[in-house]
Amino acid sequence: MAMKIVVAECSSCGDCIPVCPTNSIFDKGGIVKIKADTCNECEDSDAGPKCQATCASGDACIVYM
């Protein structure tokens, strides 16, 4: 599976980009996106997806696909 960003909820702050251990999150023209083919939902982390934990909007912005 992979995480997905809900564009309407995302402020495009980019705080999630540096915390992604698989470098799956990137900014494309001011819109933050997640590469589904490399995102592994931080499967090695007991705390869950690091991007979601870092996001000010949390699970409203970054959701499971």
pLDDT attached to residue 16: 97
Give the tens place of pLDDT for each residue, 4-40: 999 999 999 999 999 999 999 999 999 999 999 999 9
User: Which residues does 16 contact at the CB level (< 8 Å), separation at least 6?
Assistant: 25, 32, 50, 51, 52, 54, 55, 62
Give the tens place of pLDDT for each residue, 31-60: 999 999 999 999 988 889 999 999 999 889
Q: At residue 1, does pLDDT exceed 90?
A: no
pLDDT attached to residue 45: 86
Considering the entire predicted model, what is its pTM? 0.91
